[in-house]
Amino acid sequence: MQKDIKRLSLILLFAPFALWITLLILLPHIGMVVLSLREKVAPRVYEYGFANYIEFFNEPIYWNTLIRTGSMSLLVTVLALIIGFPIAYYIAKIAGPRMRGALFLLCLIPLWVSDLIRAFGWILLLRETGVISSFLQWLGILSGPIEMLYNDVTVIIGLVYTVILFMIVPLASTLDGMDNSMIEAGYNLGGRGSTVLRRIIIPYAMPGIASGCIIVFMLTAGSYLTPILLGGKNSSWFTEQIYDQFITRYNWESGAAFGMLLLAFTSIVVWLGLKLTGQTLANTVTKT
Amino acid sequence: MLWGYRAYVLAFFIFLAAPLLSAATFAFNDSLFPALPWQGFTLSWFFGDTEPKLGMFYDRRLISGLYYSFIIAVMVSLLTVFIGTCNAFLFVRKDFPGKNFFYILMIVPLVIPGVILGISILVLASSAANGLENQFNFELELLRPGIFLVVLGQISFTATITSLVIAAKLKKFDITMEEAALNLGASTNRVLWTVTLPFLRSAMIAAGIVAFLVSFENFNTTLFLVGSESPLTITMFDRVHKVGSTPVLNAVSFFLMVGSGLLAILSIFVQRDKSARN
């Protein structure tokens, strides 16, 4: 009797989980794989094969876009780490206890404002008639308006801005758990600032670095709004290709293939990141 | 040295605030364009009822976007808190074969790009709808792009977030409190409703607020699943993308910043208040 109740409660608790994962994650992805392997040869006649994937590798525009998206995402990840690490260290180790809470909150607030509004804010600042251009003209530094949108540098700045909080939060919470005496010991033993950073602080912060980098890379490679709005027509971001295939050309088969390629690409990078740093997925995600 | 460091931190926070300030400030500029020069203070981008300065509260498309976003966010937040609570009990309290594997499955949706979640659900729902139509000549409108699919798409990854938040709280629960209640003769059901769930309430509220905000601002997944009832982010994106933006978009931005800021503070407050008492 008691055992039956236990079993029943397990089944009841498992049901929502099973429904969610099966209907919203597993089946849709299986459906996408099947669709990506299908090719329309005549109206209502389909053949199965790798034609959509072969098309991707035969058309340089497609794979160049994926490589470009991947390399720019890596650059964004590295920049976010370099810019974010000192901030996280300041929040966790240098700021006083009161200040620490306030700064942490300040870091989190933009997190709750959608990417769209943040990109919109950047547009108002950077465009030809924007705040920075007008201000520089007013100061007399510029003689005419300057367009700062629609180039790669702006896209990278915009992306770093959008994702940097996901780097700072796990870093700050990892560094927060570090005992200050470890740093002091390093100095007492005659280590210089750079040595202490390299031999003590960075190894300790490694779990935070790993989880920040993985989340940031995934978010950047999968982002759509920021490259489109700040990069304009020539942003050539891979998610834009997927949208194009799905919505504009209504070619769902190759859109699904592109989607699988993006998923495979980000998964491989995430997996490599976990292997190289010796972290597990569960630890990584719960940090953020 | 330390001063240089402080200046860097300050510069960083200016960088963080600049676009938000620029988006918010121009909501109050009495000009047809969200740009300098400053033409004086106005509230007509909120309350103006005539063209060309039609305020956000009189702009029918923006208001209906706001309405759909709200409906979607409420549904997502209720459903994901339910799923999240079940998952928390499942993974914290129960033991079953393959538990680690299922735990990883639960986390995976967070590392799948939102665009992929959107298209995969679109593909499955459409092929199901097409199948029904071809086999039984039965059109199931629910499976075509629209609010229902948007809600499903957003649940697919938001449920992971709520599960993690609620499970973290349940892990801190002292099991002896339940045992004490059981020893005093309470039924299992009663213990759940009077001891365990009240303990979890703060985490459930906080998870619900987080889910609400995540849903409200989601774009990538929603983009592929949206039908004729566009939520606010989609409506705004169309306007930003196709030039012709007026400060009414700044007014919406300001409104959303204040709204989500208040909700975020509320969620922190709910959690802190409870932990202080325990």
Tell me: the pLDDT tens digits for A79-129? 999 999 999 988 888 877 788 878 887 877 777 788 888 888 888 888 877
Q: Where are the domains of chain B?
A: 58-277
pLDDT value of residue A101: 79
Separation in Å, CA of A1 to nearest CA in chain B = 14
The least confident of A52-56, A131-135, A238-242, B200-204 is A131-135
Looking at residue A274, its pLDDT comes to 84
- DSSP 3-state assignment of A50? coil
Residue with more model confidence, B244 or B196: B196
What does the block give as tokens for B68?
């759909």
Mean pLDDT to the nearest integer, B247-272: 83
pLDDT of res. B85: 93
CB-based contact, B140 to chain A, within 8 Å: no
pLDDT of residue A56: 84
Chain pair A-B, CB pairs under 8 angstroms: 221
CA A99, A104, A109, A110 torsion: positive or negative?
Answer: positive
- Between B58 and B187, residue with greater pLDDT: B187
User: What does the pLDDT read at residue B211?
Assistant: 92
Taking CB atoms and an 8 Å limit, are B122 and A228 in contact across chains? Answer: no
pLDDT of residue B131: 85
Put simply, the answer to whether A112 touches B217 (Cβ < 8 Å) is yes
**Do the Cβ atoms of A114 and B26 come within 8 Å?**
no
The pLDDT tens digits of the residues spanning B175-226 come to 888 888 888 888 888 888 888 888 888 889 989 998 998 898 889 899 999 8
Residue B230 pLDDT level (bands cut at 50, 70, 90): confident
Predicted pLDDT of residue A246: 87
What are phi and psi for residue B40, nearest 5 degrees? 110, 165
Percent of chain A with pLDDT over 70: 98
Please indicate whether residue A27 or residue A136 has the higher confidence score (pLDDT): A27
Q: Is B64 on the interface with A (CB under 8 A)?
A: no
Local confidence band at B278 (pLDDT 50, 70, 90 cut-offs): very low
* DSSP-derived secondary structure letter, A280: -
Burial class (CB in 10 A: 0-12, 13-18, 19+), B22: buried
Question: In this structure, what are the phi and psi dihedrals at residue A48, rounded to the nearest 5 degrees?
Answer: -105, 140
pLDDT score recorded for residue A288:
54
Q: Is the pLDDT of residue B261 over 90?
A: no
Q: How far is CA B40 from the centre of its chain?
A: 35
In DSSP notation, chain B reads -HHHHHHHHHHHHHHHHHHHHHHHHGGGB-SSSSSSSP--B--HHHH-BSSSSB-GGG-HHHHHHHHHHHHHHHHHHHHHHHHHHHHHHHHHH---TTHHHHHHHHHGGGGS-HHHHHHHHHHHHHHHHHHHHHHH----GGGSSSHHHHHHHHHHHHHHHHHHHHHHHHHT--HHHHHHHHHTT--HHHHIIIIIHHHHHHHHHHHHHHHHHHHHH--HHHHHH--SS--HHHHHHHHHHSS---THHHHHHHHHHHHHHHHHHHHHHHHHHHHHH-
Q: Report whether pLDDT(B275) > 60.
A: no
* Phi, psi dihedrals of residue A46, rounded to the nearest 5°: -125, 150
Q: What is the DSSP letter of A22?
A: I
Whether residue A120 and residue B253 make contact (CB cut-off 8 A), yes or no, is yes
Of A25, A105, A224, nearest to B108 by CB-CB distance is: A25
Judging contacts by C-beta atoms under 8 Å, the chain A residues touching residue B168 are: 286
CA dist A92 and A109 (Å) reads 18
Contact in structure between A155 and A230 (CB atoms under 8 Å): yes
Task: Pull the structure tokens for residue B61.
Answer: 């498309």
Residue B19 to residue A125, Cβ atoms within 8 A = yes
Average pLDDT, chain A: 84
B59-115 pLDDT per residue, tens: 788 888 899 999 999 999 999 999 999 999 999 888 888 888 999 899 889 888 999
- Chain A CB contacts of B213 below 8 Å: 112
pLDDT range class, residue B119, cuts 50, 70, 90:
very high
**B264 interfacial to chain A (CB closer than 8 Å):** yes
Q: Whole-angstrom Cα distance, residue B46 to residue B59?
A: 9
On whether the A52-286 domain is CATH 1.10.3720.10, my answer is yes
Q: Which of A7, A91, A120 to mutate to test the interface with B (most CBs of B within 10 A)?
A: A120
ipTM of model:
0.86
Distance CA A23, CA A92 (A): 41
Residues 6+ apart with CB under 8 A from A106: B13, B16
Contacts of A282 in chain B (CB under 8 A): 103-104, 107
pLDDT at B156 over 90: yes
| Domain boundaries, given as residue ranges, for chain A | 1-36, 52-286
| CATH fold label, B58-277 | MetI-like fold (1.10.3720)
Q: Judge whether B14 is closer than 8 Å to chain A, CB to CB.
A: no
User: What average pLDDT does the segment A15-40 reach?
Assistant: 90
Distance of alpha carbon B144 from alpha carbon B127, whole angstroms:
10
Q: What percent of chain B has pLDDT over 70?
A: 94
What H or E segment, with its residue span, contains residue A87?
helix A60-89
Residue A1 has a pLDDT of: 64
* pLDDT (tens digit per residue) in A247-266: 888 888 888 999 999 999 99
Residues B32-61 have a mean pLDDT of: 74
For the residues A194-216, what does the mean pLDDT come to?
82
Q: State whether the Cα torsion A42-A43-A46-A51 is positive or negative.
A: positive
Confidence of residue A175 (pLDDT cuts 50, 70, 90): confident
Position A185 scores a pLDDT of 78
Distance from CA of B40 to the nearest CA of A (A): 16
Q: Which residues of A touch B260 (CB under 8 A)?
A: 112-113
- What pLDDT shows up at residue B276? 44
Cβ–Cβ below 8 Å for B23 and A121? yes
- CA of B49, closest CA in chain A: separation in Å? 24
CB atoms within 10 A of CB A143: 8
Mean local confidence (pLDDT), B241-255: 79
Contact flag B217-A116 (C-beta cutoff 8 Å): yes
